[in-house]
Amino acid sequence: MSNLVPDILCQIFENIIGIYSFTFGPPKYKFLYPCIFVNRIWCRTAIPILYREPFIRRNENGYKLVSTFLAFINDEKRALLYENDQHDIVFCGSMQFQRPLFDYSSYMCNLHYDAMLKNIDEWCQERILKATLPSEKQRKIISSPKNIFSHIFQKQSKSKSESIENMDIEKSFHELQCAIVDALLTLFMENLVRLSKLRVCFRLNNRENYEKNMLLVQNIKYYPLLSMVREIYLTVELHVHNEFLTSLAKCCQSLELILIEFGIYIATNRQLNHWNNITDKTGESISILIQAQKKLCSITTIGMTNPCSNQLISSLASQSSSLKRAEFLWTDFSGSTPWYGLASCAKLNTLTITHCQSIDDEMAQPLFDAKFECLNDVTITSNSCVKLGEWAQKFNKS
């Protein structure tokens, strides 16, 4: 086994990843990790597979990758990071990282952007705690970001005569994190990383998370990095900012797959009007993103509500010559107009509508009238439209 040629080894390793692809996060990669210790050939073959998706949400040691990548940034970026560390709370006057044997960033194909932000945050906190608290027991006591900032504030106040506001330290900490994000994205650009998949998550009522997400799409220098993305996975909440989606439409125009998941949000009566205004604008932004694509093949929505769902269905007409798969899960179609946009997708071969609400015969009528010559997989689970279920059964039988 140790003498297998790299091409065969690569196929074996890919199969290992494929077998455990049903798992979420590190489990599917942990079976491949021991292979890098067999010999040099195994190591050189496994490393590119392991690091094509370096940032994973549930990887407890993912923050250590930040040091690995920062070891490759140029002197100009190093200087900028020092400048942003105004209170010397992270680098503590030194930013010497051992340069690895492999340039891991060059292997990256999939970017879980939210996981990268989380790893940067954890890395900064770890650096602060190690620099200020040598004892591991003390570090466990100060575990939350709030406690970390309080500790830094107390230390800085004792060591300096001038008064330092706690909020200033938090602001400086946020600016430093943004500078690290910029340094890593620039590194990926310089290494000509070819991104295939991108995952972005908006956290509820988190302004800093929004600003870091906007870093990705606002700066045109990252456009070449994003222009090659083929699959995008978005998790959005009530406060999703339409500016992000419209900016994304400018830099990502070759998407083949779009998955949009709306987080669970229970609105009070006072918030319903505000919710309707936001979803109306969000629906327009999602439509702009869909219409900007050259050849979209798959669209999936989870937890979407009207008017977003209505606007999205209408925008599918722009992808009538390419769309092959459409999935609507836990979607509310109340008040939607007839689905002419979906019915125009002549090449559709997979249609899934499950756990959806407020579907009536008038909405679905365009589907009944359309001729789907390629459609061979229809899954409908809706109690609100019996006729749609009957159409699906007849279609599957034929």
Least confident stretch, 12-16, 320-324, 337-341: 12-16
- Looking at domain 197-398, its CATH superfamily turns out to be Ribonuclease Inhibitor (3.80.10.10)
- Quote the pLDDT of residue 85: 62
Can you give the residue ranges of every domain in the chain? 1-50, 52-194, 197-398
- Quote the pLDDT of residue 56: 79
| pLDDT tens digits, one per residue of 50-97 | 888 888 766 677 788 888 888 888 777 777 776 766 545 556 545 566
| pLDDT tens digits, one per residue of 204-222 | 556 667 778 888 888 888 8
CA-CA distance, 128 to 140, in Å (whole number)? 13
Count how many residues are written for the chain.
398
- Quote the pLDDT of residue 157: 47
Q: Report residue 22's pLDDT band, with 50, 70 and 90 as the boundaries.
A: very low
Q: Taking a C-beta distance cutoff of 8 angstroms, is the pair 345, 297 a contact?
A: no
Q: Which pTM was predicted?
A: 0.82
CA-CA distance, 173 to 170, in Å (whole number)? 5
pLDDT at 136 over 80: no
Least confident stretch, 228-237, 275-284, 290-299, 318-327: 275-284
| pLDDT tens digits, one per residue of 221-271 | 889 989 999 999 988 765 556 788 889 999 999 999 999 988 654 444 344
Least confident stretch, 47-56, 127-136, 152-161: 152-161
- Quote the pLDDT of residue 231: 94
